Structure 1
Amino acid sequence: MIKEAIRWADLVHLEDPFPVCWSAAKIAKQMRKPITGTFHLYPENLTASVPILDHGSTNSAFMRLFRDTTFNYCSYFQCPTTKVEQRLKKYNFKSKLIVISNGISDYYLQNNQRTISTDPFTILSIC
């Protein structure tokens, strides 16, 4: 089913670092589809409720796992804040990190962007 969805998509957007997105990232790369992503989940969101796991080394291991299994497949990666961007830079993400927070900055509203295509396109978001 994932393969069929990616086949018709013009772009694949990954939302989280879990197995469905791992698969989608690999398939999209094989099909040469552009891949973007958004950061929503700190490892601490998973480990905080399990004291034996809530340690810096465990959280760093999770972040590397997220990076390597999902997010490094993305050409561009959306960070909701500059704080998130700074943290992800420490983990050497291959993706270009872009901060877009609660709206669109003036930069994206000015006439410094590529020409706008009138061709229809499809974006697939796998959640």
Structure 2
Amino acid sequence: MIRSRALLAVAALALTAGLCACGKSGNSTKTEMQAPKPSPSASLTQDRRETIFLDATAQHLCSVQSQVYTDPAAMASAYASRPIYTDLTAAQVDAFQQQVVSDPAFADRLTQRIQATCGTAK
């Protein structure tokens, strides 16, 4: 289920990007070219990028945790899959993932976000 939603989101982004890159349809004159726009992550503050990472990771882990897996490999694959981090580059995500391992305070913030997102067991 998670994988199919992620693939659907990626497919939608690819389709949108493909449609945007085609230029104006029905225009037989010279196609207009536009300069690439700066990355959305360039205008985000470090705190906002961190929030995006923590929220997406917490939502992903809660979603995986809520599923029932009969195959341990499928469960491991679901946990290992990377959610979509809107407005973050792959390098930024990699840096945050390294920070989870190397910075105990950051790991604690992720743990708190997971608890707030998933709720607590009763």
Per the TM superposition, whether the score is higher than 0.5 is: no
More helix per residue: 1 or 2?
Answer: 2
Choose 1 or 2 for highest CA Rg.
2
More strand per residue: 1 or 2?
Answer: 1
* TM-score (structure 2 length as normaliser): 0.28
